Structure 1
């Protein structure tokens, strides 16, 4: 058996010349064995050389540790795998091996340097230590060229393409600077993932309204740079401005959003607020924002098409400035909601409005400091859900869509 040579040069030369590389269970065997049980790596070209499979090489990891022959050979066998796939097969091999042996899991940059070196496209690297006595680290290719005798040098074989090459010419070629390919020139820490750009471009890649899909594979959408996404109008809920109303601007948000009733703060001067609610039957992807106001003084005529509910105490003066000042006519177009105390009958005026007004009641307010005061508030959530279900049913009936309000109610 020929004396042991540098494993990296042996592997590089065998790849260039197409020689066989056989993992075996003994240095004299020629029967191929699984890497998990192999003890040697046998090279057949230019002469038969057996190298211990756990022998360290001149290739060092980012931690400064010498990588063994098995890890180098295993990485080359799986060079077409992406990093996650490579790590998976390496983990499986580690599980199959015994005695505490493991293969090194190469990082992206390590794999890139290793493969370009083994393919003959790179001579020097911070990961590859020079041969003993080699000051500039460039003698690797020259050693392979002279040690291969009548065979082609690894770096020169790709250039010559056929036949043998003069050793002196091979040494000259080995001193040239390799240009490499785009992988060696544009190497980095890891590949850049630009998948997030798809989400940023989605609002702009839309087909023009009324345009037929273009012919061809995929029928790609038109890039509408001058178009803005349609803005969904906000539904409007009118509250009662009466001082006797249980629901005012000061406590409406905590009640309709949080599901808990608290007495109104009559010193509040707020004139408008917003509450959010996910209306699954209209737009399951994003919550709808509802505008709450106590009067229509700032309304434009088209705003009335966005009114989805009117809270009332039964006092008709509330409707004086409404589009429909007659309650019977008003509640033909808009859902009415009355909120009173549990155990008390709604006023006669509310009952006279008919079934188009939803009558709800909450537990009477008790000072939180009193024993058992909090236990009575669990029904508030049930009342709130009843109100929202009625509002949502009315919105569907009036023609609300996720991107538009009805043209009339």
Structure 2
């Protein structure tokens, strides 16, 4: 794996942050921009000029194998396009590449996780392995590098007197308990617990259960994995009041704005943050919002916590549970319509697991046709009441399904 200085993912992230984009080229020595279908290297001008082969495997893992730099760079170039267009572009590029390689299609959750990390919005990713040398080894190497030699200086004030250097060379290095007991390699002392157990049992107030539980502790426990992000499915219907273009403003800010059809067509997913106190009171949870499950892996369905619907059953055609009655036994159903208008009969027939909410029509500039009288700022204030009720319902369902501060449920 590449070092931190030459890691392709870090180089791409630094280039994005510095607004000095990477340049695909057909040669490592001549950074002249070339089409991605003809390029063999990716030239990074920042922080120092360097060219990396596009076939280089990165630390981003998909389907248990590293994704090459070409696929990562292609996904970044197409971060604002919809999923069907992204897939079609990948197929066209694969036809043009020929013997140069292929572009790997990334699932929508993987792409969102990658973009969030590349843009610097997150310092952790469940799909990116750490750089070789990160962690304790890097800290030790950095400390060793920063510590001056006793033969040269001990205070940073210049060269040391040769006679003092001889004196200091005879210093006895003091070790801590870890270096004395373990040496340079970790040593397993678990057998000591078994030898000590008979003596500990004879002490008043000792507990056999406590001793056995201590003996069962792992010597090197596996670090906790990153908590998966819950998923909310939106309705792709053009009649839906909430689309990808306006749902973030509604769920995060508690204010409804009409959907923008032009911007929605270029977005395939987004995320919103919300503090779910009953699940994790210490940090907000990130929810992934998407209009369709086309790129779902089977395990993603266990992370679905809510489904927005307009009452049209065709929305569930490609779902794991295509029958609405079965679907809403696994996830909360949410219908949002105009205040004062009747709820569709289909939504009513789906039962109490589909919650109904009404919002006021927005006031139109220069034209009040179709708008409810008084539906100005007061009406938009009522949007917050609806949003809070929706989040309370989602929070209650997540707690019931088994969401915790560190894990998602194995099945819903």
Question: TM-score, normalising length from structure 2?
Answer: 0.45
Question: TM-score, normalising length from structure 1?
Answer: 0.45
Highest RCO, 1 vs 2 (Cα 8 Å, sep ≥ 6): 2
Q: Which has the larger radius of gyration?
A: 1
